[in-house]
Amino acid sequence: MRYIQSSDFGTTAHGRATKLYVLENRQGLQAVITNYGAILVSLQVPDRRGNTADVVLGYDTLVGYEQDRFFFGGTIGRYANRLACGRFALDGAGYQASINDGPNSLHGGTVGFHKRIWAAADRSTLSTQILELSYVSPDGEEGFPGELSVKVCYALPVDASDLHITYSATTNRPTVVNLTNHSYFNLSGDMARDILDHQLTIHAQHYTPVNSTLIPTGEVVAVTDTPFDFQSPAAIGERIRQADEQLRLGNGYDHNWVLRKSGGNHSQSAATLYDPESGLVLEVLTTEPGLQFYSGNFLNGSVRGKRGTAYAYRTGLCLETQHFPDSPNHTSFPDTTLRPGQEFASETILRFSTKK
């Protein structure tokens, strides 16, 4: 058995020690994770030429992640994406989550899970390196009810080009839960290049339009004959500048797609991303009902990431597997309620390959 290697990552501004954990396999994949925010710091993948490059945006230092406002690589919770005005009702009681995105609550509020220290444990087996990260979110944290015990596992099989991310959670009071990973991908490995020539496929016939603050209207609309149709591979930049009201509201793509499901609780293909330059292909599989595709519209070069690179407009994109935004306020959307005695369970697989 090959155990996970760890090293110090620094001390937070509040005096908490953090660690980096390195998972590696025989296919040349390397995933680096920190217990600060259960963040995916680096993901090294070999391209068609055999050259290995880091395909996720992030920072070289802990300070970068402490100051980060773009959620690079973070584990997002208690509620990923947006809640309208931070409000929701549960069993007749109203709750107010913290507001941190205009009038709304975004990605868990002011101090979400991506800013918390997680406990780490090596759960590796003979066939897979597994890092388990756990966190207990107290009742009332960021306005959410119930003590929530959360686990996130990053698993790297020895002989597969897959990174598995699994989530589980239990609560002692009824609450709402929506968890995801917020990595920004650029399959070229050159974070100074934009992602507009990446080709994307999303296995969805519908998406959920938004209002002016990016909250779903409650409608579920067919993607056919719209810029949101990625049922066949299309370059991200092909239609992103079209005169479309939804693209205007999102400043590009920042929407939830309703994934096609064939039944069962196993992970199914949600999207495929391909970079013609590197030949890298990323297939995203998940058990979740939705996929938020975000085209890096708010990156503006104001922050410098790894190796001092300024992350400019659309130099990374997110494919966030999750339940729908603002689901607690839309009874027609898949339910995000978790009750005592139940277990939240979710899986996402990042599967890499190459094309010639």
3-state secondary structure of 343: coil
Q: Domain range spanning residue 92?
A: 5-354
Q: Are strands 280-286 and 268-274 parallel, antiparallel or unpaired?
A: antiparallel
What confidence tens digit (pLDDT) does each residue in 282-334 have? 999 999 999 999 999 999 999 999 999 999 999 999 999 999 999 999 999 99
Distances (CA, A) of 138 to 109, 173, 233: 14, 11, 43
Q: Is 182 a catalytic residue?
A: yes
Q: 51: pLDDT confidence band, cut at 50, 70 and 90?
A: very high
Higher pLDDT, 264 or 68: 68
- Classify residue 178 by burial, with Cβ atoms within 10 Å: 0-12, 13-18, 19+: buried
Residue 158 exposed, middle or buried by CB count within 10 Å (0-12, 13-18, 19+)? middle
The CATH code of the domain that includes 273 is 2.70.98.10
One of 132, 142, 320, 347 is an active-site residue; which one? 320
pLDDT one-digit tens code per residue, 71-100: 999 999 999 999 999 999 999 999 999 999
In this predicted structure, what is the pLDDT of residue 198? 98
| pLDDT beyond 80 at 257 | yes
Phi, psi angles (nearest 5°) of residue 64: -55, -45
Instruction: Write down the catalytic residue from 182, 198, 255, 330.
Output: 182
| Averaged pLDDT of the chain | 97
Q: Which H or E run includes 246? A: helix 245-250
Helix, coil or strand: residue 115: helix
Residue 161 has a pLDDT of 97
Output DSSP code: residue 122: E
In DSSP terms, 228 is beta-bridged to none
Number of domains present in the structure of the chain:
1
Judge whether 71 and 111 are in contact, CB under 8 Å. no
pLDDT at 239 over 90: yes
Taking CA 156 as the corner, what is the angle to CA 135 and CA 35, rounded to the nearest 5 degrees? 25
Neighbouring CB atoms inside 10 A of 118's CB total 23
pTM for this prediction: 0.97
42, with CB counted inside 10 A (0-12, 13-18, 19+), is buried
